[in-house]
Structure 1
Amino acid sequence: LPPQKKAKGILRKTEEYFRVLSEATNEGTAIHDKGVIIESNQSFAEMFGYDLSEMIGLHVEKLASPESMKCILEHIANGYDKPFEAVGVRKDGSTIICSMVGKPFKYKGRTLRIVALRDITERKQMEEKLRESEANYRQLFENSPAGIYQIDFKNGKITRANDVFCKYAGWSQEEISSLNIYDVLSEESKKLYLERLEKVFRGEKVSETAEYEVINKNGQRFYLQLHNKFIYDAEGNVIGSDVVAHDVTERKLTEIDLRQERDFSRAIINSLPGWFYVVDENLRFLRWNDNFIITTGYSEEEIREMSILDFHHESDRSAISEQVKQVFLLGENAAEADITSKDGTVKTFLFSSRKMQFQGIQSLVGTAIDITEKKRAQEELKQFAENLEDANIALRVLMNRRDEDQKDIEEKLQTNINDLVIPYLKKLKQANLDDRNKNYLNVLESNLRDVLSPYMRDFLSSHKNLTPQEIQIVDLIMKGKHTKEIADMLNVSVSTIASHRNNIRKKMNLRNSKINLRSHVLSIGR
């Protein structure tokens, strides 16, 4: 072929290749000559809302906003061939944001410009939303009344934190970025933190909310409730967390106080020697102590399904039911009743109950003490008392008989002494005796009368610890005899009588007393 025809064929094929290539791409492609579009693909036309036939001959000024058109013309004039962004105007007047790039080329002796552009409106809108979201997050982060921080799970470091969290921890922004969250937790909270972290790394699901005890820079302890939003990498692995922290110290301390109070109450209830229980108006159990389980032999699950009447014999249930109704009516009651345990053992309990509100329900709270042994002991004591009364009656009969026998003996003894001894003493007194023998005779007569005297019998009975000689000396003291006279009569030394007098005072508890011995002995018989 001639060179000219050959060149035209090549050009035609090139134009066909360009058209096929431009139609195959999603990018909008157009060729313009000093701003007038002379070639366009379908994507370019659709991007601006035109038919492909309408696009040919259209000036680019109609496809760009005034601000962008000015920039485009400058780029054309300067031969700028790098990507840039511009605002396009669609046929309906709406705008799109485009990323475009243009390059000049020679065609049939003319300098034309080929333009490729992509609609990035959606991406730009997403970027704008992302910027707004970041701005909102930053505002929330900086102005939130709650503490907010971000943590990197790989090293445990706090990557950033707001001022509120820094205030919680007592550290500055600069200091807190060098902290490991592990360093500010109490020992118990460290265990919880590690347990949760291990579960997260194993892929196990954990609650996004957790509470930790934190120790601030000054050593002060407080409690934070943390809400975690985990951060994932491209492979879906958890690499960190955004955390919102609320100071719940006051609530936590209240919970601790309530828990301690509850544990204290439970300890008191379980330490009671008998039962403690609460039943509702249907006589179903709401609460009970450990002793209730131990003594009845039933499990907690069984008790929860039982009525208080189930522990009484069938014949007693009607009366028990009436007593319980009286408690709800009058407010309180105390009574004894027999209880049958799971193994059939029957025991007697003393019940004391009172009406009250329990967890918003009209209830009956009661205690019961096992008095089985007490009742048995009372019965045995009653039987013993009856037997003792019978023995006392028999003993009183014996004592009366003994008193009568003793009185009879005393009367006979008195008669015999008066009839058989006293007459001879009187005869001896008429005999010519010396003074010493007269004294002996007087003492003998006095002693015989004392033997018959109730006073002397009582005195000897109450002072059995006196020796016979001490009794003899006491008798002479009572008769007004002095120490020397007693010594002469008993033919002993004065010091011996003085020693006996000291022993007598000691046995009568008069050792360190100024009471006269004769006065004391005589006072006993008054």
Structure 2
Amino acid sequence: MSSNPTLEALEQRIIILEEELAKARHDKEALHEKAEMFENIINGVSMLITYMDTEERYVFVNRAYAQWYEVNPKQLIGKRVADILKPDVYERASHNIKKVLSGQPVSYENRVIDKYGRECFVRANYEPRFSGEQVKGFYTSIVDITESRQIEEALRESESRIQTISNNLADVMIYQVIAKSDGSRKFTYLNDTVRILYGVSPEEAMADSSLIYSRIHEDDIAYLIEAEEKAIKTASRFKAEARVKEPSGGIRWSMYSSTPTFMKDGSVYWNGIELVITERKRMEETLKKSEENFRRSIEDSPLGVRIVSETGETLFANRAFLDILGYQNIEELKATPAKERYTPESYAKYTERREKRKQGKFVPSEYEVSIVRKDGGIRHLRVFRKEILWSGNPQFQVLYDDITELKKVEEALRESESRYRDLVKYAPSGIYEVDYETNRFVSVNDVICEYTGYTRDELMNMNLFDLLTEESRRLMIQRLEKLYAGEQIPHNVEYCIRTKDGELIWAILNARYIYEGGRLKGATGIINNINARKKTEEALRESEEKLKSIISTSQEWIWAIDTKGIHTFSNPACENILGYRAEEIVGENWQHLLHEEDMKSIEQLLSRSAEQKTGWSNVTLRWQHRDGTCRYLESNGVPIFDTDGTLKGFQGSDRDITERKLAEEYQKSMQERLQRAEKMEVLGRMAGKVAHDLNNVLGALTGYSELLLM
């Protein structure tokens, strides 16, 4: 028999393989659907979920995790966690990552800062994934537990407050006592008030309940037992009052209120309070007096009080009400018709209210009336009407508050508001209000219309940004972004405005921002045209530039020093004069370059100048050049003082007069040589004359000598 399969067997085998293939495809589709459903579920939860491999690279992140770091989930896949987390966060997490990669599940809580900069508390769980006994990666799930932490903290605080309140209720004892089926009783809880009311600690009373029950007045025990049995039979709240012997020996009144809880073993738990009502009992004793005092308080009330029947009959009127109308007594009031007690307008409203009440229609319980006093004066009253029991019958209490002065104040306020509107309208500055939700003006005055060239109606229909140049728009947007972020910005700002005819004007704006529910709503502001100031500033800048140019190109050394002799400014001319650049001069004390013979005189000069608050001019000083030669500088300077008169330093300019000085010295030298030559010439002539005269004398003597010898 052949071992080859028959055609029929092959066909059967193919059918089986096709069925298995179809089943595999079906299982694959089902698995794909489940995987897709699982991924949708994972992406739909607020929990942060990831899966990482052993190299700490992201293999999967859900949408919540990616949103936390404000990236697309695909951008995280394949990246190392150290590249995503902040260094300090990763440093804290790395220890736990090492633990989970060693096969240990990790769970911990941590404080983090979310993307909005808020402090949050999270619970992180790391779960290793094994393949056999080898860790192939790990899952992480991070849950925001901030709210639960806050709830727990609030609960702890609440429990602490309740405990504190409970222990500080001097007249309220909170207790829990169990009454067993055998008749015995045991306290399971007592607050600290038991120390005040019974003179024992909670622990002592819980150990021996007789310390409490023995204090109940013997005449009230039977009443309390009866009330307790009734509460048990009806499963209702136990409430009774009894006298208690105090530790000091006195008697107090206490009210007991508790609710029974029935246990399976037949015992009953009573959760209740004991409230000291001694004071209440005393108050009940004085109730009649208090009722009399109540009537007196009505009589002496600063408000007018009137008790009227449903038909409008006056049953009672206090002194204040009679004084408002100017009557001596209630009989005089009753004798005056209502029509004469009201102004015509108020009487018409009075009759309207009366008719509505007869018809059962609604009438406000608070309204205003204007009444005519007995002397003819008008008073304005605010009225409050309420139904009460008077002498056991339903009547109406009507209170009258004299608001005449308030009406005058309101009228003055209306006049003030009118003046304010006129002030805004006719103010020399532009005044406006803007709504930042629509970026449209709410109100503008005539000055803004004058500045912009637009009518009020045109401005009210314009967008705020339409008035600004592009640069000013950017500036306003930056300021608004800072305001929305809660940052502080200067109140004053300068904007460039484009008028209706295209002209550009500069304006300074001072704004007060309006918030509603903590959210920026709008602003009110004042605008002033500063075109003239801008032109002045531009001219000043040009002037400063010219001055800088003159100083930098001047051949004179222009300088400034502080009180210590340190140069705070130097122009470039110092390099031509002394051989030092301006940068070398500024910040240094260069007085050592002065000739030592000039140091003392310059110190005296500076001291005298500061004392007399005057400058100096044409003072010649000798300075040492960088090459060692001497330079003669002609100095001119003045002292500098701040606003309170304190000396800040000196400033001035020095001119190089070295060549002139050398020429003067050369000229002086030549003159001295000439003078010496002239002196020698005179001496020569004098010597010649003397010699001539001497020769004449000698000649005569010689002649005489010869004659004598002859």
- Could you state the TM-score of these two structures normalised by the residue count of structure 2? 0.37
- Could you state the TM-score of these two structures normalised by the residue count of structure 1? 0.48
The structure that is helix-richer by fraction is 1
The structure that is strand-richer by fraction is 2
Q: Which has the larger radius of gyration?
A: 1
Q: Which has the higher contact order (CA 8 A, sep 6+)?
A: 1
